[in-house]
Structure 1
Amino acid sequence: MNAWLWAAAILGAALVPLAIAAALRPPRGGVTALEAAGADAVLVLLLLAEGTKSQSFATLALVAAVTGFVGGVAFLHFLERVR
């Protein structure tokens, strides 16, 4: 394992508290934790791409970044309509 993969493992472990916070908080706080977890997951994928020299992880990170942002905005828009 190289340094890139070690960094990916450490950031991957940081996803656990964010997932717990997203599950236990009210919707507005949960979305914040979910967005932070999405950014963390994108960084993990980019580190995996660099550590394994695989372009597919970088492509997946790009798609995850775009869909995570759009999904968060859509969820907040839906949440405002319900209230």
Structure 2
Amino acid sequence: MNLWLLFAAIILLSMLPCIWVCLTGRIMERFVALQMAQVLTALVLLLCAQGYQRDIYYDVVLVLSVLAFASGLVYLRFLERWL
């Protein structure tokens, strides 16, 4: 395990509060926690790509970043019914 993967594991552990808020928070708090978890996931995948020295993971992060923005808009549209 190199330094990149160690930092990826630490950031992955920092995602636990986001998951907790997604499960127990109010609607807008859930949305913010979901967006934060998506950013942290992209960062973990970037660190894994560097740690494993696999270039294909960079493409996965790019697709995840684009889809994370779109999924956030869809999620807000769905939540708009209850706001």
Q: TM-score, normalised by structure 1?
A: 0.90
Taking only the aligned residue pairs, the percentage that are identical comes to 33
AA at the equivalent of 1:58: Y
Where do 5+ consecutive residues of structure 2 fail to align?
Answer: none
Deviates more, 1:42-51 or 1:64-73: 64-73
Q: Which has the higher helix share?
A: 1
Q: How far apart are the structure 2 equivalents of 1:34 and 1:77?
A: 14
How far residue 77 of structure 1 moved from its aligned partner, in angstroms, is 2.0
Give a deviation string over 1:43-72, Cα, whole Å, max 9, x none: 000000001101122111111111111111
Q: How far apart are the structure 2 equivalents of 1:7 and 1:46?
A: 11
AA at the equivalent of 2:49: A
Aligned pairs, number: 82
Q: How far apart are the structure 2 equivalents of 1:70 and 1:50?
A: 26
Where do 5+ consecutive residues of structure 1 fail to align?
Answer: none
Structure 1 residues 25-64: aligned runs within 5 Å: 25-64=25-64
Q: How far apart are the structure 2 equivalents of 1:68 and 1:37?
A: 10
Consecutive aligned runs of 4 or more in structure 1 exceeding 6 Å deviation: none
Q: How far apart are the structure 1 equivalents of 2:2 and 2:58?
A: 17
Cα RMSD of the aligned pairs, angstroms, is 1.1
